[in-house]
Structure 1
């Protein structure tokens, strides 16, 4: 008669096979690198994204610095020569300065993410400092740190512009084109960890040549005033 295995031996046999399989896995080092990579990958991804974020923030600071300098430089040069009288600065010139800024910082989307404030710092009749006029570009409502148009029109209480203890002041007969940029920085990858922050940059340059400082002119065809 044929001999059959006892059913009581089946669990022991199955256990032995599982034990042997586990022993093989324990001694198998073929996938060690893959396991280590899998464990380290989240950390490496986080480190890489953090590096990209830091580089992006640094580049934005550089771009905003350059933008502020360019706006101040263009505003200090723009003018319309007059046959009789000093060259005039017009609303058209203001708008051209802002159009150039839009082309330079197209990737920053300043109209939606920031605001550019251009002020003319001059000397008032009391030999004090004042903001003779101010123009803005950008949909945001951030205001100048130093005041609105007309600040310091009389007296000498207004000490000038600039975030340092030593304020920037204009000389008699000329003006300083003072630029402030406020930009709402939002992290690309780590928005849930790092909060958005407001970045501010400033630049200033003297008007390069003679200019009629009494007002901003708006001859026909008139231009839209970039008021603040």
Structure 2
């Protein structure tokens, strides 16, 4: 005859279910906490990614607008580029783009020389994160047809003959609020591009030097 432990207990104890709900709650509580933490971290990740995307769009839009009008064309200089980056850093607020990110601003143009292909005329960078451009470096495409534009193959950005494109990449190292174990891969990468709206001077060097101002090169 098989005798179980429960059968050896008094009938009143075996039939007592008053602590059942409490026990079920205790068993479910760890899963509930883990799920809540995951949702909180994932929600914050999505918000930060959206903010980085908006920053990329803002920088490219501002880069397409800046310049000093002379009698014929609009010229840009290193101070204007630096001011553009400083503004982006301030706009990023607690994300601290200067420390946790890398902004790569590229002027995509049509090469004046044969075979008149797409050309990465100049490139400027901001931020301490080490991250090279995904789509090329300054000078790529000069005198050849190796560059077909910038951006993913299904959404390639191409400069017009008289309208450079200000192409922006932002790489950002996500800073978790709880734990990286609850977040997707921490390295974010967002792009944006805007066409220059005026008759910009694209002759070399593209960005005019200013005495006492250091260029934000990507070296």
**1:203 corresponds to:** 192
Who wins on radius of gyration, i.e. which is larger?
Answer: 1
Q: Which moved more, 1:52-61 or 1:164-173?
A: 164-173
The 2-side partners of 1:196 and 1:52 are apart by 16
What is the Cα-based RMSD across aligned positions, in Å?
Answer: 2.2
Question: Do the aligned partners of residues 100 and 25 (structure 1) sit closer, same or farther apart at CA in structure 2, a change above 3 Å counting?
Answer: farther
**2:95 corresponds to:** 108
- Cα distance, 1:194 vs structure 2: 5.3
The 2-side partners of 1:78 and 1:158 are apart by 26
Q: Indicate yes or no: 2:194 matched with 1:216.
A: no
The 1-side partners of 2:94 and 2:16 are apart by 53
Which stretches in structure 2 are left out of the alignment for 5+ residues?
1-7
Q: Indicate yes or no: 2:156 matched with 1:167.
A: yes
Report the TM-score when normalising by structure 2.
0.85
Q: How does 1:80-119 map to 2 (within 5 A)?
A: 80-82=68-70, 84-119=71-106
Higher relative contact order (CA 8 A, sep 6+): 2
Q: Any idea what SS the aligned residue of 1:105 has?
A: helix
Instruction: Tell me, yes or no, if the aligned pair for 1:184 and 1:196 is still in contact at 8 Å.
Output: no
Q: How does 1:33-182 map to 2 (within 5 A)?
A: 33-82=21-70, 84-124=71-111, 125-126=113-114, 127-165=116-154, 167-182=156-171
The 1-side partners of 2:184 and 2:196 are apart by 39
Question: Do the aligned partners of residues 24 and 190 (structure 1) sit closer, same or farther apart at CA in structure 2, a change above 3 Å counting?
Answer: farther
Instruction: Tell me, yes or no, if the aligned pair for 1:184 and 1:199 is still in contact at 8 Å.
Output: yes
CA offset digits 1:28-73 (Å, max 9, x no partner) = 5444433332221101101101111221121122111101100000
Q: Which moved more, 1:117-126 or 1:207-216?
A: 207-216
**2:5 corresponds to:** none
- Cα distance, 1:185 vs structure 2: 2.3
Instruction: Tell me, yes or no, if the aligned pair for 1:187 and 1:195 is still in contact at 8 Å.
Output: no
Q: Any idea what SS the aligned residue of 2:108 has?
A: strand
The 2-side partners of 1:91 and 1:183 are apart by 24
The 2-side partners of 1:194 and 1:69 are apart by 24
